[in-house]
A and B are shown apart, each in its own frame.
Chain A
Amino acid sequence: MRRYIKWLALIVGFAGFAGLIVFLLVKLTPSPPESEVELAMKAFSRANKDKADTYSTKLFNESRAAYDSAMANWKRENKKFLFFRNYEKVETFARLASKRAGQATTTSQINSSSLKISVKEKIDSVNKTVSGIDHIFGRYPLPSDSRKKVAKGNMLLKEAEVAYSKGQYVQANSKINEAEYLLTTVFNTELSDLKDYFKSLPVWKKWAQQAISESARNKSYAIVVDKFSKKCYIYLKGVKKFEFDAELGINWVGNKRRMGDKATPEGIYKVVNKFQGKQTEYYKSLSLDYPNARDMERFKSELSRGSLPAWAKIGGGIEIHGGGGKGVDWTEGCIALTNSEIDVLYDLAKVGTPVVIVGSVKDLSKVLENELLVNGNRGDN
């Protein structure tokens, strides 16, 4: 019996000692930074869902780096003996990861929201530019390079709209910026050229008015060709008698500078010859005195300034002739009317009848009938 009591006491004593050891081990073991890391993980996950990697890249990367550091430190500490572990660094990195992830989420929400608004505004603005280009330059002989830019810009605009509709604001922003650059460049350059061209409007108006006044004074005919309106007006005694559609040189915008530029000259001319039948290629024609003294002077000046190549010639043979009615500007620089219209003009005009060819007799704003141009907003931006 005594032997059994002795054994029982020994077992209880051993169990108690073992229990104390286990208790001390558990109590003294540093507790893992579970909650800090879990919080960091959740914050990082939320930032990821809010596309912080795209809209708040720096903070998101900082959060990721801090989280990775927390995990690396945790793994390193866990390799140490139980009592020598220290999770302070892990906790610090985990807290930093949480903080940065939270900041990344907030920044991402703000950035994506503001980018969304900004892209939408740009898309609307570029669409207005496209409308402006269509309205002002739709029927205008834009240079090939400008046309290509417009086409490329339109394509990029559409791609931006597709990306925007899918919530891909970064891609949409990149596309719309490219589109904006191309289209705004074309719009501003062409509008600026057009405005420069229309600086001659007072002179054009003066020439036209002089011809009309002379027609009134001399009780004779005068011919006025308005290039922008594509019209040929015939005045008698200062009163407009006829108005015909005119077809011009392919590059009708601007004055004729040299032979072969396919431009219709601008100036005060007169009929110097009349041809019909086999004498002309285009049914009937009124030959003009291009180049006149003013044309010659300008041509020589351009040659001397080097703005024209030394081999350039001034050209000639500008006529008002038949064969028109094609609906396009197709001549080498002449003014084409339909055969029935040239019949009328051929009978009225005499050698010496004044012919004034101008860019326009109307203000640019009236010609284009475009509010953008009247306000001058876009062109001046």
Chain B
Amino acid sequence: MKNKVLMGLAAVAMVAFLSSCGKVPQAKIDATNVAIDSAKVAEASVYVPAEFAAVQDSMKAITAAVEVQKSKMFKNFKKIEVKLDETIAAAKKVQADAVAKKAEIKKEVETLMTDIKAVIEDNGKLFKKAPRGKEGAQVLEQMKTEMAAIDAAVVEGQGMYDKGAYMDALNKVKAAKENADKINGELKDAIAKVSGKKVVKK
């Protein structure tokens, strides 16, 4: 009788041992997917694309590893659980990095916006002083049209900024700023030629 009880206990222990590592860590998988989705919502694919791709690759590898274990008679998800913990941490870091990068780009756009508005204002003042010399009127007329195009680009860039598309806004405003700087330089050169002053180019 005693032996039968011992054998029964041994069998239960065996089953418990075999089944203890055999459950898919679904809760952690879900948590990892949530973390990755949060990173996606934070536009990680736009602001930190390489980091985000690495996290996605990691999750792909985990999904495959889960199926590998499911294919086996004796399943063991211990290593996968460790991987999932690491991926959750990585996804959270990616999310934080994306938020930080987005804030950085946003700040860069704001600085550029302030700078370009100052250049546009300066161009307006310089334009009034610009020499209307022989045939200069046509050059000034073109500059005036270019300045209107720059104003339009700034408005467009502001619209992108308001929608939170900071990367697009950055490209737009950066291009507008370069054109505004070019006109600023040309106007200063033209005025300097008339006044005889030498322009120090920065």
Interface residue ranges, A against B (CB under 8 Å): 7, 25-26, 29-32, 34, 37-38, 41, 44-45, 48-49, 71, 74-75, 77-78, 82, 85, 87, 138-142, 144, 147-148, 150-152, 154-155, 158-159, 161-163, 166, 168, 171, 230, 245, 326-329
Which of B64, B135, B145 is A148 in contact with, Cβ under 8 Å? B145
Asked if residues A159 and B149 are in contact (CB atoms below 8 Å), the reply is no
Known: A29-B73, A327-B134, A327-B136. A75 touches B149 (CB 8 A): no
- How many Å lie between the Cα of A152 and that of B175 in the bound state? 12
Q: Does B98 contact A (CB under 8 A)?
A: no
List the A residue with the shortest CB-CB distance to B174: A162
List the A residue with the shortest CB-CB distance to B142: A147
Sampled A-B contacts (23; CB under 8 Å): A34-B64, A71-B63, A74-B71, A78-B67, A139-B138, A147-B141, A148-B145, A148-B148, A150-B142, A150-B146, A151-B142, A151-B145, A151-B146, A154-B146, A155-B150, A155-B153, A155-B179, A158-B179, A162-B174, A168-B171, A327-B134, A327-B137, A328-B132
Q: Does B8 contact A (CB under 8 A)?
A: no
- How many Å lie between the Cα of A26 and that of B75 in the bound state? 12
- How many Å lie between the Cα of A87 and that of B146 in the bound state? 64
- What total of chain B residues lie within 8 Å of the partner, measured CB to CB? 38
The residues of B that contact A171 with a CB separation of less than 8 Å are 171
Asked if residues B73 and A327 are in contact (CB atoms below 8 Å), the reply is no
Asked if residues B146 and A328 are in contact (CB atoms below 8 Å), the reply is no
Measured CB to CB, the closest approach of chain A to B41, in angstroms, equals 20
The residues of B that contact A26 with a CB separation of less than 8 Å are 73
Main secondary structure of the interface of B (DSSP, over half): helix
- How many Å lie between the Cα of A37 and that of B70 in the bound state? 15
Asked if residues B149 and A138 are in contact (CB atoms below 8 Å), the reply is no
* 67-95 of chain B: CB within 8 A of chain A: 67-68, 70-73
- How many Å lie between the Cα of A144 and that of B149 in the bound state? 13
Measured CB to CB, the closest approach of chain B to A140, in angstroms, equals 6
- How many Å lie between the Cα of A322 and that of B129 in the bound state? 25
Measured CB to CB, the closest approach of chain B to A4, in angstroms, equals 11
Asked if residues B172 and A159 are in contact (CB atoms below 8 Å), the reply is yes
